Amino acid sequence: MTWQEELQKLDLELASGRISADDYRRRRDEVLSGSASAPAPQQQQQGPFAQPFRWQATPPQQAPNPDATQVVTPGQAPSPDKTQVVNTQQGNDGERTQFVRPVTGPNQQQGGWQSNQPVSAPPPWTTGGDGGFGPMGDPTPGWIAQGPETFDDARERSGKGRVFAIIGVILVLALIGGGVWWFVGKSGSGGGGGGETTQQTTTSKPRPKDDLEIGELGGTKQNQAHIKTYEDVVSEKLLTDEENTVYSTAGASKTRVGLVTLPSGNVVQIITVQATDATAAANAVDALGALQLKFGMKPYSGGTTPAGVTAQQVDVVGDKKGSVRAHYVHKNTIVRVQVVGKDQATISKDFDAVLAAQMTALPVGP
């Protein structure tokens, strides 16, 4: 029996409890001292590197207890702090546990004695270079390096992904909304659809003034909408025959009449008549002014007569009503303004206000 086998036997006896620790140390020293005088086994010629580790299967020793723990001293381990659990190659008891004692370098003191045991070949499950434990056996396994920064990177990538996903959803919703707006707007403006129409707010220009417009006079208005042409004026006998002749000569056509009772009790009548052109309208105004004087009226003296206006008046005498009547031209329209009442001062006051309002609606001039 070689000294290595004797040491293994001592380890088995110590593990099984058949010898004490003191006996184990004493007998170990004797074996080691005897191995120093024994010739060293012949070794093959080797280079500058140590002989590679070879695994030697050791048959289990007969032990009284089949459940005993077997202590085996393997070869050089990659780290002095690494512990390996190795299944026994032989034996019929599957519950037997084999404990491998970590050993330092070949010349390092351990347990008070120096081991010169040659390095054996590694066991079959360590040929992959990871000690048989996969990534966990690496000096710096990748799962250890995955600290909080790794999860931060994952969260950052996840956060960026969510941001891009949200932006994509917003763009899709915007496109859908634009499509709905387009089709709804088109269907609403088509005129044939029964859905709701889209109201568009536009800034409309002020409508052109009607050349026959009646100004805002206030008071109580009487409906004169049935008078639309000068023939209606003739049929209503609103003017004298001589006045009708003057209007007909000017080519009177479209006509509008306004009849209002003011709060003062005075009655206002305004007639606008469309003539052939501005010249015909101007000639008619001159003829109508001369005709008023022929009727016994005198020039208006109750206020200031605006330029381009011909105005005459009839004074109030007793129970006889007085009046003020004026004519002027707006483009090709003949404008007639008349105020009738029982008080001369009130007539003049209302006439000035009514004439100003009508001239605002239809100013004097071609």
For 35-57, how does the pLDDT look when each residue is reduced to its tens digit (9 = 90+)? 666 555 554 444 455 555 555 54
**C-alpha to C-alpha distance for 315 and 292, rounded to whole angstroms:** 14
One-letter amino acid of 19: I
Asked if 231 contacts 315 with a C-beta cutoff of 8 angstroms, the reply is no
List every span in the chain annotated with CATH 3.40.1000.70.
220-361
270 versus 208: the higher-pLDDT residue is 270
Q: Residue 6: its pLDDT value, please?
A: 84
Lowest mean pLDDT among 61-65, 232-236, 237-241, 271-275: 61-65
Q: Residue 16: its pLDDT value, please?
A: 83
- Both tokens of 217, joined, read 């006079």
pLDDT, one tens digit per residue, over 293-351 is 999 999 999 888 999 999 999 999 999 999 999 999 999 999 999 999 999 999 999 99
pLDDT, one tens digit per residue, over 162-199 is 777 788 888 888 888 777 777 666 555 544 444 444 44
Residues 6+ apart with CB under 8 A from 298: 312, 313, 314
Q: How many angstroms separate the Cα of 346 from the Cα of each of 81, 309, 317, 324, 336?
A: 127, 20, 14, 11, 19
- Both tokens of 282, joined, read 């101007």
Residue closest to 255 by CA, chosen among 242, 270, 237, 240: 270
Long-range contacts of 231-238 (CB under 8 A, 24+ apart): 233/257, 233/271, 233/273, 238/269, 238/271
Mean pLDDT over 218-243 rounds to: 95
**C-alpha to C-alpha distance for 123 and 315, rounded to whole angstroms:** 144
Instruction: Grade residue 19 by pLDDT with cuts at 50, 70 and 90.
Output: confident
Q: Is the pLDDT confidence value at 238 over 80?
A: yes
Q: Is the pLDDT confidence value at 23 over 50?
A: yes
CATH class of 220-361: alpha beta
Q: Residue 58: its pLDDT value, please?
A: 52
Instruction: Grade residue 113 by pLDDT with cuts at 50, 70 and 90.
Output: very low
Long-range contacts of 242-248 (CB under 8 A, 24+ apart): 242/291, 243/288, 243/291, 246/284, 246/287, 246/288, 246/291, 247/273, 247/284, 247/334
